[in-house]
Every structure is written in structure tokens, then in C-alpha cells.
Structure 1
């Protein structure tokens, strides 16, 4: 039982040092061993801490085991979701309810090693905002899990410009201030390092241990690669065009106008110099379609600009993030 959260249990709103977020889905055989290892590591840290177990709609005895642990240790908190929403939503629920200045996420299947937590914290103490685990020696099926992961990580690193070996490793440590405004959807929890760089955050990677699964079954398959790549497209769109969507839609619109103009000139050339009637080619239809699509694209860009302004102004949000204020009165 952890006793390092003095004062936390008595004050539900008290800020603490570390929050460990662990999502579970049908992991009744893993939750107790993981808790025991995690409790020992957090106790040795000597910092105030809490553990947040998020049950993502498990159909076995996972939630019952989590409640038993929470009854024995008041620094353990349990969030039970109504159904299975997926790992990203479960992690987001943990982030929303965490009180720690440092948030650590890890898998609930026992493959992540809690003994790596002090190493992650040491990197944060060096000034980094996000420390991402790197399963350099993965204990998974090479063909089904490891090889697709290598391909996906290479694509993500190349497209995003944030070079990491292992985006899929759940074991990561975050400073609260860099992810407090991040909202996660789909499979986007793996892209938090990319979000962090948008706000000038500093990201590093650290090799971590990876253990073979001892109970339960993997919840992931090859179909996850497609979902990850689609989510990456969304992330890159938000990164480049979140505040100026007209650049994307308008650029596409003008490209369509250029194609329409080129087709119109070609159509005239064929008519005047080769004697071909307009109706003998598909060019009139192509010119008209490109022109209409160009107009619609620009109108969509203008509508997106209005939506962006509504998003920022209605919620008093800013298009920038301040790291620090010096010699400003605190009001």
C-alpha cells in the first residue's frame, strides 16, 4: 500500500507531484501485479503521487479488482467508463481528472515497466516537457506488431518533423502545463509529442524496458496502422492550417481555377487551329467542373475562417501559448 500521498486523500482538490494514468480493458490478470510494482516504485520516489486506473468498459473482473485496490489504498483512484471508448479516450479521462504537476501514462497489460518512471522523471528535471518511452527491444510479434510499428513510426517522424523511434509506446511523462489544453480523439494519444512542439515544448526520447505479455490478449491488429495514418493526416492539417484554413482551401481553389483556365485555352486552340468542335472533347465539362470546384473550395475556406474565429473568440482562447511572464502583476 502506498503511503507517499500524505495530505492528498484528505483533500480531493489538492495538487500533487505525480499522477500515473493506467487505462485497462479486460486486464483482470494484470492489474494487481502491475499495482504492486507501481506502488513500490512510487513509494521509493518520496514524492506525493496518485494512481488513476481507468477502466475502459471491461467485461471481465478488471473493474472489481481496481475497486478492491482503491479500497485498500486511498491514493489509487478509479474511473469507470460506461463502455469501451478506446485507449485515447481512456487516457484523456485520466488527464482530465489528474491532479499531478507531472502526468505519466502507461499500459495496463504489464508490458511497460514501472521501474522506468524515475528515469523519465530525471529527463523532465533536465528541462524537457515530454519524455517518450522507446521500446528498443520489443517483446511482441515481429511481423504483426513490430514491423508495422517501424514503418508507421518512420512515416510519422518524416511527415511531422518530430523524430521519435516509438510513437506507439504509451509510457510517457508530461508536464501538465504543456498538455492541459490538448484534446485527444481517435488514436491521437500517441501524437502528444507533436502537439507539444506546436507550443514550443521540448521533447526527448528514452529507451525503456518492454516485457512479454503474461495474461490477456492484445487489443491491437494491423487495422490500427490505417487509423494511425488517418489520424496523422488530421494532426498535420491542424498543425499547418488550424489558424489559417483559407491557405489550404484557397490554394486548392486557385489550383482548380488554373486548371480550368488551361483547359479553356486548350479548348480554344483545338477549335481555332484544328477545327474540332467543343462537343467533340470533354474539355467543356472539365473546365466547368474545375471552375465550380474552385469557387466552392474558396467559399469553404472562408467558412472555415469564420469557424476558427468563433472557436477562439467565443471561448476566449488565443492563437499562441505563453511559457513565462516576468515582472507582470499577478491578478
Structure 2
């Protein structure tokens, strides 16, 4: 199979028929062997009924329905598991991403040998309340990750099959899939300017909290990417350093006490700083041991309750 198109959705009943018809036209015009995987993230409208109706008339359409709303990352992760295409395209269900971009994205993966190509909505149809924070976080992510992308959060992306089968997306990490891919060893990451269309139906499902969550997720990815397989290296090193500082202060106070015999050690504030440093250092060291145990028992972190499936 040439292409898998994965579309996470939440309450998008109005846009689904138009979007699926548009994708099918593009695929047939380019003679692609394809599948469309619609992942219903616990919609409360008639989105699932629409998916069932569309699946009856289009054998290339498949569906996954969550029992409740888990979030976009969970939807993408389930779609990645189900995808069979050599190239995987992800896009949003709100018609703001254009399926006409699919052939060029496919070409960049297959001919230019990119592992991942991310869309860049250079001209956006969003209010300043979304565009300004987005530019800020994209700039911060560029600096911290070393990946030269302008729009990490663009839903329109293309992946080589082995990329999506090698990574896990959980929590709200969908914003930083390029960073996850890089930490997994996929270095050839490209970018393509894509059309950003004005929203035709409904309203945005994301609030202002996504910016705070986005920053916290970036911190998590950077930490997990560097120390996820070796947490003891981080906590153990930090704990040893803090413990050593406290120990050195205690040695200094002990020498000063016996050399000058003019004060009690406990009369000086620095003694309590040393005591806290020793305790905190020991706790950080023990945290490293606990983190090592946790990393070996986290196999269920991507387990979701799937209520129904179509042709899967």
C-alpha cells in the first residue's frame, strides 16, 4: 500500500464527508493505493455515525472509535499502529489542511528520502491570540531541539513507515513528534510550505491551556529523550553533586570547630544548608534508582480502551 492517511477527530460531523471525498479524488487522480483511517476521539456528536456511513460506500476507509476522549496524541498513536502504508500522512479533520498537498509530501518521502516532512502554515488564518504564542513556542523548540522547523504543531505531516512504527506518542506529545523522531534516530527531517485554509465548520477544540501544556511537554521530551533510558545518570549525578557540596561544608565546619573552638557548628546557618544538601542529595540518588525501576515497568502507558473498529 502506498499511503495511509490518518485523521484524528473530535466532533467534526460536518466536515468529514467533504474531507474524505476530497482525499479520495486526490488519491484516484494520482493512482495511489491508499487507506483513510479516521480516529474518533470520543466525539459527542454524530461523527461516528458519519464514519460508518462513509465506510459503507468507500472500502478504503477505516475507523477507530475511542470509548472516551483521550486526546490527539492517543488518536495519532492508535492510527500509527493501524497504518499499513509505506508513507503515512496525518492531517486535521477541520478542512484547514488541504489534501492537495499529499502528492508532493509523498514525493519528498519517496524520492528525496526524508524520514519526516512537516507542513509549515506560512500564511495562517488564525487570530493573533494563536499565532503569536505559536511563534514563540516554535522558536523555543527550535533552539532546544536543534530542529529547524517553523511550525512544529502543524497537523499536516508525512512520515516514512518505519518512523511511525518506531515511536510512541502519548500524553500531549503530538506537538513535538519531530523531536521524538529525532531522539529515536531519524535525522532527515524536512519542511514544506502548505496551504492553511480558514475553518469552514465548527470551532477550535483547543484552548489557551495548550501553550502551557506545550512548554511542559517540551521539557518532558527533552528529558526523556536524553535520560529516558538512563534516569540514574541524571538523578544520580545531580544527587551526588548536591550531597558532595553538603559533605564538604560539614568537613569545613568540623575543621573550623576543632581549630578555633570559638562557636558551635549548629549556631551557623551554613550548617543547616549543609544538612539540607546532604538529605536532598541522598533523595535524588534514591530517585534515580526508583526511576530505573519505573522505566522497566511502563509497557502499558499506551493502552487505550477502543470501543469499536471498522475493518481492523
The alignment's TM-score, normalised by the length of structure 2, stands at 0.88
Q: 1:82 aligns with which of 55, 61, 67?
A: 67
Shift of 1:118: 1.0
The 8 Å contact of residues 103 and 175 in structure 1, kept in 2 or not, is answered as yes
The within-5 A match list for 1:155-166 is 155-166=140-151
Find the counterpart in structure 2 of residue 238 from structure 1.
224
Spell out, residue by residue over 1:155-174, the C-alpha distance to the aligned partner (whole angstroms, 9 max, x if none).
Answer: 11111111211011010001
Find the counterpart in structure 2 of residue 177 from structure 1.
162
Find the counterpart in structure 1 of residue 20 from structure 2.
35
Q: 1:73 aligns with which of 31, 51, 58?
A: 58
Shift of 1:305: 4.0
Q: 2:240 aligns with which of 251, 254, 258?
A: 254
Spell out, residue by residue over 1:39-58, the C-alpha distance to the aligned partner (whole angstroms, 9 max, x if none).
Answer: 11111121210001111111
Partners of 1:169 and 1:237 lie apart in 2 by 23
Q: 2:265 aligns with which of 268, 273, 278?
A: 278
Q: Secondary structure at the match of 2:11?
A: coil
Partners of 2:52 and 2:288 lie apart in 1 by 50
Q: Give 5+ residue unaligned stretches, structure 1.
A: 1-15, 315-331
The 8 Å contact of residues 266 and 272 in structure 2, kept in 1 or not, is answered as no
Find the counterpart in structure 1 of residue 33 from structure 2.
48
Shift of 1:282: 3.0
Find the counterpart in structure 1 of residue 208 from structure 2.
222
Find the counterpart in structure 2 of residue 103 from structure 1.
88
Find the counterpart in structure 2 of residue 298 from structure 1.
285
Spell out, residue by residue over 1:270-323, the C-alpha distance to the aligned partner (whole angstroms, 9 max, x if none).
Answer: 756694433333333322221122123223324444555x469x9xxxxxxxxx
Partners of 1:151 and 1:22 lie apart in 2 by 27
The alignment's TM-score, normalised by the length of structure 1, stands at 0.83
CA RMSD of superposed structures (Å): 2.1
Equivalent residues, number: 296
Q: 1:118 aligns with which of 76, 82, 103?
A: 103
Find the counterpart in structure 1 of residue 275 from structure 2.
288
Bigger relative CO (Cα 8 Å, ≥ 6 apart): 2
